[in-house]
Structure 1
């Protein structure tokens, strides 16, 4: 979900967060999955029956009801909390849909996921996809969303109270000495302990594999023999995982802003560090063309040096904001990162930086709050909590200790002189997670699946373009669509070329020609 889409509804969070979903830095969604016990099918006919112990779930009926938004309906799907024990405890998952509007024959259901992990698909549907997807697609598909387990309205993971979360987001993530390293580590430990205390039952069962299995159950309950799906950012990993588990049930899958599931958490986080550097260089090159650029008007290199100096200054003396909170270095960095997701936010970032250089941190704080999904009343949504819970379960941690991070900082700073140090330390939080990871990185080929459309943007900050190329090459039926441009994800963000190619695939089942490139 890009910044334009986030502006249309109350999910201002960045769609692709990280294994290191830490203090101010939400990085890459960690990859990796294992085939869980009780899985009855990874191939075969689309309509093959589920395992006997899952039949009551696959055979359930949804009780649709109006849910406060015109034309939208909501329901609750029941799923096993633990797929290895279907007769045990169940979990209730929030589902929403907007029916096909016509004209034209209905194709079926189109599931959508905005990323995260932790983004509410139901909010995304009600705030954007159900009204903002191209009219020809909405005419032929019921647009459907399910909040993944642990997310939004689906047994949400909880960890900290709002004041604790404020402290967490303000913690220095570029520690200058051992005392600050200890403080940062303590915050990670407290965050993990809070999740375990408040969400012990659901915490071991929010993996991407389990969510993919929930999606297959929903597919069956909706009456579709195959799954049609649009996933953005982390949603591409979710979609690829589904294709790995159920290749013969793959219908039309669009994976936009793709991840590379073969990479370790450390590799993902370093690659994303480089991705944000690429995005910042694009912003800086644009900024210096404006006479009011607060980072100077000479060169992108000079702008980067000035931003780094600004962060150092704020680290030493946080700025007032007109709020009870000051703008710390961590919040300032998060505010800048938030604007890297879409070039449409660059003017807002210029204004916020100009305001900050004049001693007022309110503009950058507002950007950081939108990133963290903090409401004006000081309350937080659960996205940060779900993000860590899913990522720390999906893949082993990027680093095991602060000393590991210290040794890697130089490598991360090579990837991004401006953001590298903070991204490296933000990759530490899963080291203290109370649940051992159940997934591991590996390529996904989904042998036997119908053509799968992978979309990559050349200067995407959060999911670097090389990840899209890697996923498309791994998938046995992967087809790559390239958007030569800025911002995170490409579908529905203003490129007629991209939208036409994706719409044709969704409506006719025909992927674009090999190596199709849009500008």
Structure 2
């Protein structure tokens, strides 16, 4: 049944491409036939665009709830956006920020502002994938998790391996899995279904092929779209990627290792350069003071788990600055001191002040360890609603592993990667997911490989470099741009890296895909040079490391933070 469905879709897709022209809607057959005669009605978008972003227009697309049985007549609506090309039309390019569960209709406006050369040639298309609602409009699908099913403790520490501690930890993932599996729409919130939505959107846009940029989970979605519809896939940029030839869940399971690497090899050394008087001038001193801060916040009502989570998923410059503020406050609290002066005297002070106001509700001069502790304190009510798409996709795309497997993973990873290793295996809802996948997701076929460019940061703490490299090695013909020493999640367009932006733009605009290459990373916040870190990238960068020309523009920084945050795990 599953193979015949995929075969019918592939046959339909092949029939669409006739000397580069799209077959009229009346000639469409197969699962798309009943939906291909829609007219896109472009109207003002319901969301408020970011400052400096280009204006977008939005439309709603009707899709079947189940592409495997569209004849049932049960439908959903998917919101899409468009920022039209300003010059000669090269095609449509759909952009996805990942998640899974992230809305993407506001992203084209930011991308158009950040990359005017790309905007000149392409209609930039955004999408709020099925189940994510409409950005600024109707609400996303959520799973209602009964609060009484969750742990009421606010002092959880995954390093505590007692039976009681483990039992309390697994309450949340079990409750989330059971709540999300009980949602009637959950079986239809999958990559397979969303890829079919994309194929319908391609047809409604009148394009023979659909070009694509996907970040994080968006690399998985893009690769699977190209695998299901190889004749429809245009140029594909997969940025900060999963192992799209392997298991999606492997990207999450690698979090403890890659976050420990970033924390020890890049973040702690950076802290010793930025705040030596507060956290120590050596990595060893900083690590010891971080532990003291962890103990201090525990006495203030912030669970050790919450403290640890502040230093994982640090894939954006804003997350680094937030981590610095929490770290300095923690050590100051442990020492009985007010660290506000040290933060105010830092070169990061303007960014720290803005972050303090938005994250903690006070100006930097009023930020104290007490304020930070209260903001980080656990509140079980926070877990009452969770995004259905996040777990339906992450756990429903492929067969999951058992609770006992994940508990053994926690036992193995904890001693090696204590920052997140103890906690991750006890917090994964997929370990309680019992539903079997309804469709198979094929691997990337050989004929698509020369249209795919992978971009990956060496120290990315959210999708590890090794995951992307594994996918490229398993897909001969795909090329990869590595970004040496970069700890950021999302490289193209929003990291201010001219080497990366140049290579991607040459591919998308000039039709010249680079071979395997290495770009230098950009300096960390508050620094003007890149400090090399040993890692898996072995080849030299194509140009020397550069000094920072200016602070990352606010628009770029905010989008980079959004991409990082929407692809972070939820505690």
* Superposition TM-score tier, normalisation by shorter sequence: 0.7 to 0.9
Conservation of the 8 A alpha-carbon contact between 1:227 and 1:250: yes
Q: Which residue number in structure 1 is paired with residue 83 of structure 2?
A: 98
Identify the residue that residue 444 of structure 1 maps to in structure 2.
Answer: 444
Residues 409 and 194 (structure 1), Cα distance of their counterparts in 2 relative to 1, 3 Å cut: closer
Distance 1:313-1:517 versus aligned 2 partners, 3 A rule: same
Deviation at 1:498, TM superposition (A): 0.4
1:185-222 C-alpha deviation (Å, 9 max, x unpaired)? 2222322333345xx22110111111111111101101
Equivalent position of 1:20 in the other structure: none
Q: Does 1:40 align with 2:8?
A: yes
Task: Provide the TM-score with structure 2 as the length reference.
Answer: 0.72
Change (3 A) 1:380 1:45: farther
Q: Is the 8 A contact 1:273 1:423 kept in 2?
A: yes
Question: After superposition, where does 1:70-469 map in structure 2 within 5 Å?
Answer: 71-88=55-72, 89-100=74-85, 102=86, 104-125=87-108, 128-129=110-111, 131-153=112-134, 156-160=140-144, 172=156, 174=158, 175-197=160-182, 200-264=183-247, 267-281=250-264, 282-292=266-276, 294-299=278-283, 301-308=284-291, 310-311=293-294, 314-315=297-298, 317=299, 319=300, 326-338=301-313, 340-343=314-317, 345-359=319-333, 360=369, 362-363=371-372, 384-398=387-401, 400-401=402-403, 403-413=404-414, 415-427=416-428, 429-433=429-433, 435-438=435-438, 443-448=443-448, 450-469=450-469
Residue deviations 1:409-461 (CA, integer Å, cap 9, x gap): 3421355232211122223x113235333467875335345521111111111
Closer, same or farther: CA 518–291 of 1 in aligned 2, 3 Å: closer
> Contact 2:172–2:427 at 8 Å: present in 1 too?
no
Q: Is the alpha carbon distance of 1:132 and 1:383 closer, same or farther for their aligned partners in structure 2, counting shifts above 3 Å?
A: farther
CA contact (8 A) 1:353 1:363 kept: no
More off after superposition, 286-295 vs 415-424 = 286-295
Structure 2 unaligned blocks of 5 or more: 50-54, 334-368, 522-571
CA distance in 2, matches of 1:212, 1:501: 27
User: 8 Å contact 1:230–1:256 — kept in the other structure?
Assistant: yes
Contact persistence 1:149–1:155 (CA under 8 A): no
Are the equivalent residues in 2 in contact too, given 1:173–1:425 (CA < 8 A)?
no
TM-score by length of structure 1 reads 0.79
Aligned to 1:503: 505
Residue 395 of structure 1 deviates from its aligned partner by: 2.3
Q: Of the two structures, which has the highest relative contact order with CA contacts closer than 8 Å and spacing of 6 or more? A: 1
Cα distance in 1, alignment partners of residues 4 and 295 from structure 2: 47
Deviation of 1:140 after TM superposition, in Å, equals: 1.6
- Distance across 1 between alignment mates of 2:415 and 2:491: 28
Partners in 1 of 2:382 and 2:415 — Cα distance? 37
| 1:265/1:214 CA distance change after superposition, 3 Å | closer
Q: Is the 8 A contact 1:446 1:475 kept in 2?
A: yes
**Equivalent residue pairs, number:** 461
Deviates more, 1:138-147 or 1:234-243: 138-147
Post-superposition offset of 1:265: 5.9
Q: How far 1:64 moved relative to its partner?
A: 1.4
CA-CA distance at 1:283 after TM superposition:
0.6
Alpha-carbon separation, structure 2, partners of 1:134 and 1:344: 21
In 2, the alpha carbon distance for the partners of 1:347 and 1:270 equals 26
Please report the RMSD computed on the Cα atoms of aligned residues, expressed in angstroms: 3.4
| SS of aligned partner of 2:461 | coil
Moved more, 493-502 or 179-188: 179-188
**Closer, same or farther in 2 for the Cα pair 1:211/1:67, shift >3 Å?**
same
Deviation at 1:168, TM superposition (A): 8.6
Higher-Rg structure is: 2
Q: Is the 8 A contact 1:462 1:488 kept in 2?
A: yes
| Contact map agreement 1:257 1:460 (CA 8 A) in 2 | yes
Alpha-carbon distance between aligned partners in 2 of 1:441 and 1:366, rounded to the nearest angstrom: 41
Deviations 1:104-140 (A, max 9, x none): 30112110100111111124345x33x4330111122
Counterpart Cα distance in 1 of 2:374 and 2:510: 45
